[in-house]
Each structure stands twice: as C-alpha cells, then as structure tokens.
Amino acid sequence: MKVYLDNCCLQRPLDDKSQLRVQIESEAVLAVLSLHEQRQIELISSEVLEFEVEQNPDRLRRTYVLEVLAQAAMVVRVDEAIHMRAREFEFHGIRGMDALHLACAEAAGATYFCLCDDRLLRKVRMFSSVRVKVVSLLELVEELMK
C-alpha cells in the first residue's frame, strides 16, 4: 500500500498542539510513519514535496520533513505527463502545488493521498476522475486499521 502525505501532514507533529484536532492528527502522522518503518506501507515522496519543504524558512521543520522524506520508498520525478494532469486539476479549481501533489500521487500509483486541508479535501472529492483515494489523516488511520 502506497501513501502520499502532503507537506502539511508531514509537518503536523511539529505544530502547536493546543487544539485537540492537531494533537490527534499529530499522533496519526506518527502512526503512519511507524507503519512505514515497519514496512507495512510505502511512503511516497516527490520533487514537489522536496521543493516545497526546501522553501520553509524554519530550519527545524525543514530538517525534520526532509529526514522523513529521505526514508520514502520512492520519489516521483515531475515530467510532462504530471504537468498536464496538474493542469487538468487546476482547470477544476485545484491550485498550483496542490494540483502537482495530486498528480504526483496518481503517477506513483498511490493508494492514498492524505491531506489536512478540509476545503481542498472537499474540492478534490468533487473531481470524479481522481485516480487515488483522497483522505484526511484520521480517515487514513481508520483505513489502515481495517
């Protein structure tokens, strides 16, 4: 099973945990990463994720996420097909980096594309031809427990 976590998911364990949702999602990410370490799932990375992480001015966050991504089972290289698919998503209102992440997850044959952004989650789910199951962190953990 292949899992593509977006940048916000990967950084969730470093977020302020004063909100219950953030606490729970932080634990969910750590559980997913633990499953990857146990080789029960494959974590997917991409050039898009690496680029986005490199833009983070917070050295601690940047270092943490890059270390996680270094353990990924595969890194998706962006090609013309991915750019074309991302443009299709953009036509349907999924913008920029989000469109590229989704296209990379599809190109990798990911089982799940996981994100924290509720608005984006709703928007992607409205696009019927997405070839990866798009889930929140909590939905991902629920799926992995089945």
Burial class (CB in 10 A: 0-12, 13-18, 19+), 64: middle
**Structure letter (DSSP) for residue 78:** P
Q: Where are the alpha helices (DSSP H) in the chain?
A: 7-11, 20-37, 47-54, 59-69, 80-91, 96-107, 118-126, 137-144
Amino acid at 47: E
Burial class (CB in 10 A: 0-12, 13-18, 19+), 79: exposed
Task: Give domain limits for the chain.
Answer: 2-144
Do 141 and 28 form a contact (C-beta atoms < 8 A)? Answer: yes
Mention every residue, 6+ apart, whose C-beta is less than 8 A from residue 114. 3, 4, 5, 6, 9, 32, 134, 135, 136, 137, 140
What's the pLDDT at 127? Answer: 81
Query: Over the stretch 60-92, which tens digit does the pLDDT of each residue have?
Result: 999 999 999 999 999 999 999 999 999 999 998
CATH fourth-level superfamily of 2-144:
5'-nuclease (3.40.50.1010)
Query: Over the stretch 14-40, which tens digit does the pLDDT of each residue have?
Result: 999 999 999 999 999 999 999 999 999
Cα–Cα distance for residue pair 3/43, rounded to 1 Å: 5
Where does the pLDDT of residue 126 fall: very low under 50, low under 70, confident under 90, or very high at 90 and above? Answer: confident
Mention every residue, 6+ apart, whose C-beta is less than 8 A from residue 94. 102, 120, 123, 124, 127
Q: Mean pLDDT, the chain, as a whole number? A: 95
